[in-house]
Chain A
Amino acid sequence: MKKKILLGFGGLLLSTVLAFGQETISPAKAQSGPIVITGATIHVGNGKVINNGYVAFDKGKITAIGEGAAPATAGATVVDAAGKQIYPGFICPITTLGLVEIEEGARGTVDDTETGELNPHVRSLIAFNTDSKVIPTVRSNGVLLAQPTPEGGTVSGQSSVMMLDGWNWEDAAYKKDIGIHLTWPVARAARGRRGGAPTPGQETPAERAQKQIDAIYSLFGQAQGYAAGGKPAVHNLRLDAMVGVFNGTKKVFINADGAKEIEQAVAFAKKFNLSAVIVGGKESYLVTDLLKQNNIPVIIKETQSLPDKDEDDVYLPYKLPHLLQDAGVLYGLTGIGFWRQRNLPFEAGEAVGYGLTKEQALSMITINNAKILGIDKTTGTLEVGKDANLFVSNGDALDMLGLDVTNEYIQGRTIDLNNKHKQLYKKFSDKYGIPTKL
């Protein structure tokens, strides 16, 4: 093991637990004293970069940040990060991390999709598995907060923002039940039919989609009435769960990729005066004016994907963030699934070759995601008063050639960077007598 990563408390912890295995990777203890990280290039998250800077935090909050020498802090643990980079913790929205452990062949570990079409009442919060072996592999790449999100059906349920460290979901919750997720119906031609006229009497895909849209309108219309009606005589769990979307305390995340569907979704959001977020948004670049006028942000799902249509620009998914940036639409980014979220920094970095600046790419997975999830008051940038959710990397964290996390903190707690993969690496390096280069 190279000495240079044995920095600070986190590094020490890492070296001591390597021999023990996943079951001993413990959640961090509360911050016990001030920590000051010095000499680093600090990426604030909002575009600003501080060279040779310091960050100080205590009791979980950032207390100071600036250029040059850090002010002396009594009793502080000083982490020398000369030549390194400091970033706000990455935030991963719309993920099944913590809800799924083994995707196929082990249904018992899959808790992301409830049965039924309209499930606004189900909550991902309580299914979040803090003991997942996947979480430490994502966390060790700088992803500190995530939004485990239910899937399936038309209205899939509610999500919360979770810290990727904690003894149980209760501890790990960062912001509970922040919004409801729905998937906008798509008019799709029936399987096997190549356009052409539908069989008379048969429901066309457009008709089928319209029925589903009507059901959404009906649900929201009734929920709106229910919310306005005060204390109901007969409680309805679904409608109870939706009260928040009409008083601005819950967001509505709408999965929509096609420009048509986005247009429909925006009209829907306007009608019910919802705080809406478009998720996916593959064709959002075609309707940027509409999104901007209505203040509706987009969470892009993966840059590292294929264009939807053969005719599309071969790099379209790489260019999408830049197209939204130029149009002035607020956009965030998620990766895909659960384990692949450890690539979130690279999903962001991908956009840099195609128009974004590096700091804009960073904002995409820090402050932009924080704004969209409604947690930007406490996290998303490195600013005094915000939570000390941050990490130190030896190099550029958006690039696989630079990402090398040495220290990591969630609300000031020093996070264990060990994970199952490092443990197996160590185990088999030992078997062959080859050096372990972590």
Chain B
Amino acid sequence: MKKILLFCFALLVAQFTRAQETFPVNGAWDVRPGQYAFTNATIVVSGEQTLTNATLLVKDRVIEAVGAGVAVPKGYVTVDLKGKFIYPGLVDAYTSYGMPEAPRQTAAFNFGGPRVSVPVSTKPGAYGWNEAIRPDVNAKTIFHVNATAAEELKRNGFAAANALIRDGIARGTSAVVALSDERDNLVFINDQATANYSFSKGTAATNYPSSLMGTIALIRQTYLDAAWYKTQKGEYNISLNEFNRTQALPQVFEVTDMQSILRADKIAKEFGKQYIIKSDGKEYQNIAAVKATGSSFIIPLNFAAPYDVEDPLDARNVTYEQLKDWELAPTNPAALEKAGIKFAITSYGLTSSKDFWTNLRSAITNGLTEKQALAALTETPAEMLGVSDKVGSLAKGKLANFIITSDNLFKADNVIYETWSEGRQFVVSKMDVTDLRGTYAFKSDVSNGSLAISGTPGTYSVAFGPDSVRTPGTITRTGDLVGIYFNSRQPNGTVRLSGYISSVSPITLSGTGTAPDGTEFKWTAAYTGPAPAAGNANGAFARGGQGNPGGPRQPATPSPIGPVVYPFAAYGYVEVPKAEATLFKNATVWTNEKDGILKNTDVLIEGGKIKAIGKNLPAGTAKVIDATGKHLAPGIIDEHSHIAATGGINEGTQAVTSEVRIGDVLDATDVNLYRQLAGGVTISHILHGSANPIGGQTYIIKHRWGVTPEQMKFEGAPQFIKFALGENVKQSNSQQQFGNPNVRFPQTRMGVEQVYVDAFTRAKEYKAARAVKGNTVRRDLELEALAEILDDTRHITCHSYVQSEINMLMHVADSLGFKINTFTHILEGYKVADKMKARGIAASTFSDWWAYKMEVQDAIPYNANIMTSEGITVAINSDDAEMARRLNQEAGKSVTYGKMSEEEALKLVTLNPAKMLHIDGRVGSIKAGKDADLVLWSADPLSIYAVAEKTYVDGVAYWDYEKDAARQKEMKAEEGRIIQKMLQAKNAGSATQRAGAPRRRQLYTCDDIEDAAYVVADSYNNLAQDQTAGQQSAQNKK
């Protein structure tokens, strides 16, 4: 046995070995010259140059010459390629080729059981604290040639690939390798091509980060730590050392949604980097924003298959976003090209590698030029990977990576015959054999009919029978021999045919067959005409229903394609509305100023600001809105919201996470932004959750629907941070193993106090140490945020319920010298209102929530009234995507419970939150010069009957009840159009996918400790959550 194995090995070696000098050889050396001359070919040297009737000389691994007048030296194997084409071998810039499969373990998550606590890395060695930062991993050290995977790439024409490890946030370095089937030592083109990153922690067991914002914070801190590491001599840290070392390489960052492109780029800019971004192919969703990053891209062609939409009720499960993406994704490469953005195309991420060319051609049909397509597959990736001198075009001295094709590479019926990688041939489809595609007259002793062979040489499909009812079958071909079998209905069973090419002009197949009953017969099939064209109903029969998602889904001439909407979501605008000078005539105006509520009053807005308030104001050029009988009020401000953020709302893995920032993970596509505009909300304070005593930094946004996450931010907004007390912080309702020494501290209110004392004590020391001239204290973003609190440049809003802990935090703040800006929720605020008043602390509470857990047993709906009477600035907040859109009503409940005056009640959701957020200089009341953030209500805004007819942010009517009705109609029409197109694609033979449970947004409340979808390795954007559960928790928990 052993001998045989050795023999095989020797054969293998003999065929390929040449320069592997250091390895012993068993038997005689078998070194072949590897000299080939490809003559009479059309050679596409690069996107810029095509030679006709030219010759390519290959000597072993490299190109010896390429040109029209090249003479073929003696000793060369000559291959006549008359009528055929040679292209540079394609380069795939993003693959996991040759990488071992990453273990799918996530030790930190033991579903159904208590969570295992892994606060810091348990990996032995002088590594950093977090396992998700693994720049020390180098693809070159774990790479191993994988012949099967290589063949899959070579079938599509790829001759070189960037191999990288897709595991972790910092993922180490990749290697560019040739795809030849040789010893590992021989295939390296660049042993350290790129340094790689992502927002996915992968298999790291370390608990932190459990959210996208934690991930971004970790990346940020790692840059700082690495910089500090260079200046220190105290410790050796492989992770930081390698992180620094790999900064010189091109930096590739993988993201899985459009907005994350912007997130990654923001980090890059912060640290003076420029990433090459590996995207998910959704750049078209905001090409201008993508262009503004200045990044170059590696894009996939993973276009979605059409959905099952025959049943209108099932079709309701396909989201607008999915419908639009199905149609628009194939336009993505063209959109990038048109915008002048540099990009490479990868075959990575396809459901099946067979979709690659179908999808690429679909991209070309949708406007990508062939020239750009070629560049994106050759020169651009070669340049990105620093291997332009070796691959990407055909020139003397470069590697002999090329493909031989029957035609223009991009033509629909082109056949890739051979892919050569480093001078090693791989036959995709034999050049010298007869093309069998066609329709044949089938004759036999038992029956006659017709036989159709379609597909591409190498992957033929066959079908048997009369044209109307074709039975798909299976065909195999070995040289001139063919084998065909299919299921016959009459008689029932499998018919097997064995035959050979008996004539080539016309092509005739002859042989013997076996009927289901065992009867043997003779048959012949003579060519009668071309195969049925792909794209018609019969074209797909041979696929046996499996089909090809890209399939013949796009007709040759593209049908009209709908516009991109902003944001790319339901209710996105084709054109985002602009600020318009507007005069509201004769309204009841709730000024929130000294004037109180003014009847029959006009308000003029212009340039996004309130210009004038008064009687009979002249309209000038302004649009006039008759507001007779209506109420004009300031936009609603929600002090406590968790909408429009993604990738988890809590980084609850540590007791103190002041370094994480909601501002990093804003999501401008959240439909709740729009829904809340329809409830009069113009500003939301997006908070970190309440999982830990010191949570993350928050952000104040305006509900500008249709802009990027950055553009939603309230300009120059005061900086806040979320603190939390009580049951969530001590994890009393979670499944943690109480008493386990690894369980996260604190578990009691006693422990919570000590967390604060400790954190601020450290922050004070840090601040003092950093203040010393010439200090080398490591910059620590966690302590820096706490130092900002000490400096009063960052304000605290603290989730709180019961009086004991509220009192405690006030005392801690007094003793350590910081201020508490707001107690949020503060359901027992009425018990300590005097103490809060004495310290000038504001209160942001619920109108009537109680009884949903132990710590809210004493919550009363009179809370806002008592605190207001005590002189506290009081707001009513939502903490809930649903309640937020009727905060006006929640304010109205202060009239129900405790008879607050209506004027004061409306302030609970307008001026008062503006005050506690320190933005009342710009918003919160109707006063000349303030932002035109206004709501036109149909009735008294505190009444259950009030409908928000129009909502303005900066003078832009983002919500308009009447226009919304028209937009809904347009959206329906657009859905209908795309569904028709999908049905056509399906009829044309494309495989479809079931909608299943549509992707629904996760609704966050304070309590959502982990976004399970985020935590599971590599799938944070896959939010196919059980929506009912999500909504239920949103409704029942605070």
Contacts and interface: CB of A to CB of B under 8 A. Distances in A.
Interface of A: 101-106, 134, 188-189, 191-197, 205, 258-260, 286, 304-311, 313-315, 336-339, 342-343, 346, 349-350, 352-354, 398-401, 403-404, 420-422, 424-425, 428-429, 432, 434, 437-438
A71 B830 CA distance: 48
Nearest to A305: B882
Nearest first, the 4 closest Cβ-Cβ pairs linking A and B are A189-B996, A349-B944, A189-B997, A425-B862
Contacts of A428: 830-831, 833, 866
A102 B732 CA distance: 14
Nearest to A336: B1035
Given A194-B996, A310-B569, A428-B830, A350 B944 contact: yes
Contact of B848 (A196, A313, A343, A398): A343
28 contacts: A102-B851, A104-B852, A189-B997, A195-B996, A196-B996, A260-B313, A305-B1035, A306-B672, A307-B675, A308-B1027, A309-B570, A310-B671, A311-B971, A314-B675, A339-B852, A350-B886, A350-B944, A352-B944, A353-B944, A400-B889, A400-B895, A401-B940, A404-B896, A420-B860, A424-B830, A425-B866, A429-B866, A434-B870
A354 B850 contact: no
A134 B997 CA distance: 37
Contacts of A308: 1027
A434 B889 contact: no
Given A195-B307, A306-B675, A311-B570, A421 B860 contact: yes
B993 A338 contact: no
Contacts of B943: 399-401
Nearest to B896: A400
A60 B516 CA distance: 85
Interface of B: 307, 313, 316, 319-321, 569-571, 671-672, 674-675, 678, 727, 732-733, 830-831, 833-834, 848, 850-855, 857-858, 860-862, 865-866, 869-870, 881-883, 886, 889, 892-893, 895-899, 902, 938-940, 942-947, 964, 968, 971, 975, 993-1001, 1003, 1013, 1016, 1019, 1022, 1024-1027, 1031, 1035-1037
Contact of B319 (A106, A258, A310, A353): A310
Contacts of B998: 309
Contacts of B831: 428
A310 B853 contact: no
B1024 A193 contact: yes
Most chain B beta carbons < 10 A, residue from A314, A342, A346: A314
A301 B548 CA distance: 43
Q: Is the interface of B mostly helix, strand, loop or mixed?
A: loop
Contacts of B947: 353-354
A366 B571 CA distance: 36
A84 B1019 CA distance: 59
B319 A309 contact: yes
Q: Is the interface of A mostly helix, strand, loop or mixed?
A: loop
B851 A103 contact: yes
A309 B316 contact: yes
A65 to B, nearest CB: 27
B850 A105 contact: no
A304 B886 contact: yes
B1036 A337 contact: yes
A118 to B, nearest CB: 21
Given A195-B996, A306-B675, A432-B866, 19 more contacts: A102-B852, A105-B732, A188-B1026, A189-B997, A193-B1024, A194-B1022, A195-B994, A205-B997, A304-B882, A304-B883, A309-B570, A310-B1000, A311-B570, A314-B571, A400-B896, A401-B943, A420-B860, A421-B860, A428-B866
A104 B853 contact: yes
Nearest to B947: A353
A336 B671 CA distance: 23
Contacts of A424: 830, 858, 860, 862
A314 B313 contact: no
Given A103-B852, A192-B1013, A401-B896, A205 B945 contact: no
A104 B945 contact: no
Most chain B beta carbons < 10 A, residue from A304, A311, A420: A311
B678 A314 contact: yes
Contacts of A342: 848
Nearest to B316: A309
Contacts of B674: 314
B854 A106 contact: yes
B865 A195 contact: no
B882 A195 contact: no
A245 B1016 CA distance: 46
A350 B883 CA distance: 13
A105 B943 CA distance: 35
Contacts of B830: 424, 428
Contacts of A404: 896
A339 B975 CA distance: 41
B881 A196 contact: no
Nearest to A197: B993
A134 B971 CA distance: 44
Contacts of A353: 938-939, 944-947
A195 B995 contact: yes
B996 A421 contact: no
A286 B314 CA distance: 13
Given A105-B727, A192-B1024, A434 B882 contact: no
A337 B1035 CA distance: 9
A365 B415 CA distance: 71
Most chain A beta carbons < 10 A, residue from B675, B865, B902, B944: B944
Contact of B870 (A400, A421, A432, A437): A432
Contacts of B971: 311
Nearest to A2: B899
Contact of B898 (A189, A194, A425): A425
Contacts of A336: 1035
A95 to B, nearest CB: 13
A192 B1016 contact: yes
B1036 A425 contact: no
Given A189-B996, A421-B861, A432 B869 contact: yes
A190 to B, nearest CB: 8
A259 B313 contact: yes
B968 A306 contact: no
Contact of B1022 (A102, A192, A401): A192
A346 B939 CA distance: 16
B944 A346 contact: yes
Contact of A134 (B851, B945, B1013, B1031): B851
Contacts of B940: 401
A310 B944 contact: no
A191 B848 contact: no
A260 B1003 CA distance: 25
Given A103-B851, A306-B881, A434-B870, A346 B898 contact: no
Given A349-B944, A349-B945, A401-B892, A102 B853 contact: yes
A194 B997 CA distance: 7
A106 B855 CA distance: 11
